[in-house]
Amino acid sequence: MEQVNIGMIGGGTVGSGVYHAWQRNSGLMASRLGMRLHLGKVAVKAFDEPRPYEIPASCMTTDWKAVVQDPTTQIVIELVGGVTLARTMVLTALKLGKPVVTANKALLSAHGEELFAAARAGGTNLYYEASVAGGIPIIKVLREGFVGNRFTHIYGIVNGTCNYILTRMKLEGAEFADVLAEAQRLGYAEAEPSLDIDGFDSEHKIGILASLAHGFWVNPRQIYVEGIRQISRQDMQFAQQLGYTIKLLGIVKKVEGAGRKARNGSRAQVSVYPALIPNTHVLSNVNGVFNAVFVRGDVVGDTLFYGRGAGKDATASAVLSDVADAALDLKHRSHGRVPPFVPHERAGAVVPIGETVSRYYVRLSVIDRPGVMARIAAILGAARIGISSIIQPEGHAGESVPLILMIHDAPNAAMAKALARIARLPVVKAPPVMIRVENFD
């Protein structure tokens, strides 16, 4: 039976998970693929670094070049993380014409365009299923399974830490800071959690999906990002009262429009922000550390992909899937997979957040006196922004009381400007809280 030799860079949590999964199921994969996958050298930071699964000392080296540049290494797995040394490692392998399997979403977000160009120049491929949503095969779904579709909407719950925090806030009536501290204690959140809770991890992932869906490379600097720090127990309670759940969503929407910009190519909203979603929608029931991606294609309609989005085992499953594809491509001397980022028509563009249109939930803290609502309504009316409903709950005696507004569709720029004017009113005692509403229309 033919054998393909694999080298791996990174032997920590994920790397040892891949090694363990390969040991467990390499025989199964060989029978399915008709070839043996031999995982030989593994480059590590240190032989004694903590790892959940053992890697034999005879397999390990601290010299990554000894793995990548070894003439017997046919496929390289990159699992070191980061965007500096990892970039050098991946480029080195691609320039040698060796296919690379990576789980590094930050690297792809920062340097994806360069890396895919290097793969083309080297006559090889870059495989990256594990970079988005862990064990959910969403990359292959968009690139190959739905190749006959145009994508109008993609909504992703793609960060397990944020979903865990928001789930507990909803189910337990807890405050954000308390749940975050508990998540850090349990290991669900990092000691420095900003990558997750400020939305940047989701930004990396949703940018990759947006690029696949619309065929042009999405610059991460063009993605609007908003995290979950501002979400309070009050917001969760009022959202529930209104029939909604709050989730951090990565969003890709095709934007229809006229004029010169629209004629020059497809336009898409690419954003990350917390949103109210109806309790009747399936995404509202994606809880805990689980991920889900909702995809709407013009042919297939609505589909949902659900599973574990992170962790050594879910990631290992995705990595081995890519290794199998890379091995089969080598066996059949084929690098003709569906290209990752090819404009479907002409080069597209990301729509600035100010030009996008949403519905909104707004929570104000106001002095409870006659005429307050009239002053707020006047500002919104002058901006041509309509109010669909108002809640002023009883039992909030004191200097200020909460006032909840549900707002009709309005441009983000107009809404931001109106809220800035409302915040300056003497009767408003705290910065307004605004959360967008997604109804999946």
Q: Where in the sequence numbering do the catalytic residues fall? A: 205
Q: Could you tell me the maximum CA-CA distance found in the chain, to the nearest angstrom?
A: 83
List, in sequence order, every residue forming a beta bridge with 8; answer none if it has no partner.
42, 77
User: How long, in residues, is the chain?
Assistant: 441
Q: What is the DSSP letter of 276?
A: E
**What are the E-state strand segments in 343-426?**
349-350, 357-366, 387-391, 401-411
Distance CA(224)–CA(352), nearest Å, equals 8
* Cα atoms in the 13 Å half-sphere on the side-chain side of 61: 14
What the block records as the tokens of 381 is 């009316």
Closest CA to 208 of 316, 107, 276, 58: 107
Distance CA(258)–CA(262), nearest Å, equals 5
Contact 270, 210 (CB under 8 A): yes
Q: Alpha helix (H) ranges present in 60-159?
A: 64-68, 85-95, 105-121, 138-140
